[in-house]
Structure 1
Amino acid sequence: MSMAKKWLTAVAALLLTTSCAQMPKKDYSAFYAERPRSILIVPVVNNTVDVDAPRYFLATVTVPLAERGYYTFPVNLVLGVMNEEGLSDANLVHGADPTVLGAMFGADAILYISIEHWETVYIVLSATTTVSFKYVIKSGRTGETLWQDQSTVQYTPGANSGGGIAGLVAMAVAAAIQKVAPNYMPLAKQANLQALWLPGKGLPAGPYRGDYGSDAEVFPGSGAAIAASAARPVPDETKP
């Protein structure tokens, strides 16, 4: 199965589990007005005690954003340039002028992410792993906020292991393994999918997807902004 099909399958599963939930509607007028083609992912702010969280998280966010139809800059290249420019501190980067970052990389938009939770809590016979992130996209041309969201995913191993002594033992073993070596990556990937892909919540299809420009009803914005976006030529897919 191709990577794109894997992501789409995961998104379909998320849609099934959230279809009954009432999510607040977003206005995508500012996003349509800018019509970004390329999105720069800058170093993430880590508000947790796990110093390795940013490195692991950055390995999970590029693919879903690229599969959504946007050009993404290589993470390691971005980090290298940031270090050379004296912007190795993520908090400093997040406080910098977005238009400066946009000009530095030639990026249409900047994606800022903060890690709010990246932890495993052990209580009696269970362990719950939680990841939580905040996302903000700003224009690389004006600095205006175009989109923002937050996503949280929790996992408790052995929650469906059944009753009785065997069930308790299974829960205890699963919890011990999870506490010693928690696997945050699948949860981070799921959180990114929820934030970037869910209809009416995530990002409209980008210019490098076949359904680009056809999902305005799912991602609503003002009529003028949508019309202005549709009137512009589709970018050359051979160029970032």
Structure 2
Amino acid sequence: MMSYFKFYPLAFLFIAGCATVQPYNYEALINEAPRSILVIPPVNNSVDVNASYTYLSTVTQPLAEKGYYVFPVSVIDNFLKENGLPTPAEMNNIPLDKIHEHIGADAVLYVVIENWGQEYQVLSSVTVVQGYAKLVSVKTGELLWDAPIVAQQSSNNGNQGLIGALVTAAITQIAGNVTDYSPAVSRLANNVAFNSAKRGLLNGPYKLKTEK
């Protein structure tokens, strides 16, 4: 069925405030200089039951590209479940000293997801990812870095008239039952958060150096 539909280009929209963004204070992160990061499955406050693990599948690559060793998320998830922590909410309450003792990570990335998935409107659909991430030192519990995880993708073409927009919206809603755009939007949100010019995550020790 999918091959019979013509899809219009999807516009990526960023949610950003109007106020001037102040440079981030990286003193704690520079002093700690973590080499390895443990990503805990996110706390999911959205209505989408798959949000936590869908997000988890998108976070390893961008962190590794920033130059950090990232503990394999599926291995850690299984390890925690086998040790009596079946849900992300319980995993997020592990004492840091236990993480240091049993896993040995330098820092933990905690994520809370507030809004996730497709929202259908009259003339378009929007896929939204909205949450918050913070990087915490395992040794001291100090906040090393934090940032919003926010992006959205709209299906509204904007130049096709009312009838065309209604048809496109109907097709998008039908296709949306099969095609889930949230992983792509999650990767976009991570890219914005980790690589923001004024408050992105600083490069880690394993960042590849490229010659100009």
TM-score by length of 2: 0.82
Question: Partner letter of residue 28 of structure 1?
Answer: Y
Aligned residue in 2 for 1:148: 146
Structure 1 segments of 4 or more deviating over 6 A? none
CA shift in 2, pair 1:158/1:176, >3 Å = farther
Find the residue that maps to 1:121 and give its secondary structure.
Answer: strand
The answer to whether the aligner puts 1:199 opposite 2:206 as a matched pair is no
Alignment counterpart, residue 37 of structure 2, candidates 36, 39, 42: 39
Segment drifting more, 95-104 vs 39-48:
95-104
Aligned residue in 2 for 1:209: 207
Contact 1:131 1:188 (C-alpha < 8 Å) held by counterparts = yes
Per-residue CA deviation, residues 191-235 of structure 1 (Å, 9 max, x unaligned), is 011111212211111100145xxxxxxxxxxxxxxxxxxxxxxxx
Q: CA deviation at 1:78?
A: 0.4
CA shift in 2, pair 1:176/1:127, >3 Å = farther
Contact 1:118 1:132 (C-alpha < 8 Å) held by counterparts = yes
Aligned residue in 2 for 1:80: 78
Contact 1:161 1:170 (C-alpha < 8 Å) held by counterparts = no
Find the residue that maps to 1:166 and give its secondary structure.
Answer: helix
The answer to whether the aligner puts 1:112 opposite 2:71 as a matched pair is no
Contact 1:50 1:118 (C-alpha < 8 Å) held by counterparts = yes
Aligned residue in 1 for 2:180: 182
| Equivalent pairs, count | 197
C-alpha distance in structure 2 between counterparts of 1:42 and 1:167, whole Å:
41
The answer to whether the aligner puts 1:29 opposite 2:3 as a matched pair is no
The CA RMSD measured in Å over matched residues stands at 2.6
Alignment counterpart, residue 137 of structure 1, candidates 135, 138, 163: 135
CA shift in 2, pair 1:124/1:210, >3 Å = closer
Segment drifting more, 59-68 vs 178-187:
178-187
Kindly, what percent of the aligned residue pairs are identical? 37
CA shift in 2, pair 1:155/1:210, >3 Å = closer
Per-residue CA deviation, residues 34-90 of structure 1 (Å, 9 max, x unaligned), is 100000011211111211122211110000000000000111110121112222222
C-alpha distance in structure 1 between counterparts of 2:84 and 2:181, whole Å:
32
C-alpha distance in structure 1 between counterparts of 2:162 and 2:45, whole Å:
39
Find the residue that maps to 1:23 and give its secondary structure.
Answer: coil
Find the residue that maps to 1:43 and give its secondary structure.
Answer: coil
In structure 2, the gaps of 5 or more residues are 1-11
In structure 1, the gaps of 5 or more residues are 1-12, 212-240
Aligned residue in 1 for 2:4: none
Aligned residue in 2 for 1:220: none
Find the residue that maps to 1:95 and give its secondary structure.
Answer: coil
Contact 2:118 2:125 (C-alpha < 8 Å) held by counterparts = yes
C-alpha distance in structure 2 between counterparts of 1:116 and 1:170, whole Å:
28
C-alpha distance in structure 1 between counterparts of 2:90 and 2:42, whole Å:
11
Per-residue CA deviation, residues 102-131 of structure 1 (Å, 9 max, x unaligned), is 332110000111111113222222212211
Contact 1:99 1:142 (C-alpha < 8 Å) held by counterparts = no
Alignment counterpart, residue 69 of structure 1, candidates 67, 70, 83: 67
Alignment counterpart, residue 123 of structure 1, candidates 92, 111, 121: 121
Aligned residue in 1 for 2:5: none
The structure in which a higher percent of residues are helix is: 1
